[in-house]
């Protein structure tokens, strides 16, 4: 089997194609959640906590260049070449992750409910009784 035919067989397998589709949809969905957090949730959080803006939470690891007179915001200092430890961005990304994980959890839960996936039935009574005897004998 030639290298190209082997690669083609690998690439068109259902699981590889499904994975590729999942990655593409996941990237697009991640952008939606990022916009949801940045444009809807963070302004509300900022309003509740009195103007709180996580993106401007940082620690300067260096000094601004001599003669710098711009604002002391993350964007301006980054453009000026000042090294920053931007822990506020990490908080925002962590919030994005939590929201994304929660939304995916809800989606999977709904899909399983629509498919009719139910937990397996409990084992028969005699099997349960044998397990209890086995566990008692181990003690």
Output the domain CATH number for residue 42: 1.10.1200.120
Q: Kindly state the helix (H) or strand (E) to which residue 84 belongs, with its residue range.
A: strand 84-85
Do 10 and 59 lie in a common domain?
Answer: no
Q: Taking the CA atoms of 118, 124, 129 and 131 in sequence, report the sign of the dihedral they define.
A: negative
Distance CA 125, CA 41 (A): 51
Do 9 and 35 lie in a common domain?
Answer: yes
Do 60 and 40 lie in a common domain?
Answer: no
Question: Residue 44 has which token pair?
Answer: 């509300």
Q: What digits encode the pLDDT tens for the residues 63-117?
A: 899 989 889 888 899 899 999 998 988 887 787 788 778 887 888 888 878 887 6
Q: What digits encode the pLDDT tens for the residues 22-62?
A: 889 888 888 887 788 778 877 787 788 776 667 778 899 98
Question: Which pLDDT belongs to residue 117?
Answer: 67
The answer to whether residues 128 and 122 touch, using CB atoms and an 8 Å cutoff, is: yes
Name the residue range of residue 37's domain: 1-50
Give how many domains the chain has, as a whole number. 2
What pTM does this model have? Answer: 0.54
Question: Which pLDDT belongs to residue 14?
Answer: 66
Do 103 and 63 lie in a common domain?
Answer: yes
Distance CA 118, CA 112 (A): 8
Do 109 and 63 lie in a common domain?
Answer: yes
- Of the pLDDT bands very low, low, confident and very high (cuts 50, 70, 90), residue 125 is very high
Do 15 and 63 lie in a common domain?
Answer: no
pLDDT at residue 20 greater than cutoff 70: yes
The answer to whether residues 88 and 56 touch, using CB atoms and an 8 Å cutoff, is: yes
Question: Which pLDDT belongs to residue 52?
Answer: 67
Do 58 and 44 lie in a common domain?
Answer: no
Phi, psi (5° rounding) for residue 8? -60, -45
The answer to whether residues 92 and 55 touch, using CB atoms and an 8 Å cutoff, is: yes
Do 73 and 91 lie in a common domain?
Answer: yes
Mean pLDDT of 110-130: 84
Q: In Å, what is the CA distance from 101 to each residue of 11, 26, 97?
A: 28, 11, 6
Question: Which pLDDT belongs to residue 61?
Answer: 92
Question: Which pLDDT belongs to residue 1?
Answer: 66
Q: Taking the CA atoms of 10, 11, 12 and 18 in sequence, report the sign of the dihedral they define.
A: positive
């Amino acid at each position: 089997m030639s290298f190209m035919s082997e690669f083609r067989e690998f690439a068109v397998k259902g699981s590889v194609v499904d994975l590729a589709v999942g990655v593409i949809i996941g990237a697009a969905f991640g952008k939606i959640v990022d916009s949801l957090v940045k444009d809807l949730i963070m302004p509300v959080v900022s309003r509740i906590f009195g103007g709180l803006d996580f993106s401007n939470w940082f620690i300067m690891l260096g000094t601004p260049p001599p003669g710098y007179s711009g604002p002391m915001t993350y964007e301006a200092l980054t453009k000026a070449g000042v090294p920053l430890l931007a822990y506020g961005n990490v908080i925002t990304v962590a919030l994005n992750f939590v929201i994304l994980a929660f939304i995916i959890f809800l989606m999977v839960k709904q899909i399983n409910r629509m498919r009719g996936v139910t937990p397996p039935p409990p084992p028969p009574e005699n099997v349960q009784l044998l397990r209890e005897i086995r566990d008692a004998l181990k003690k």
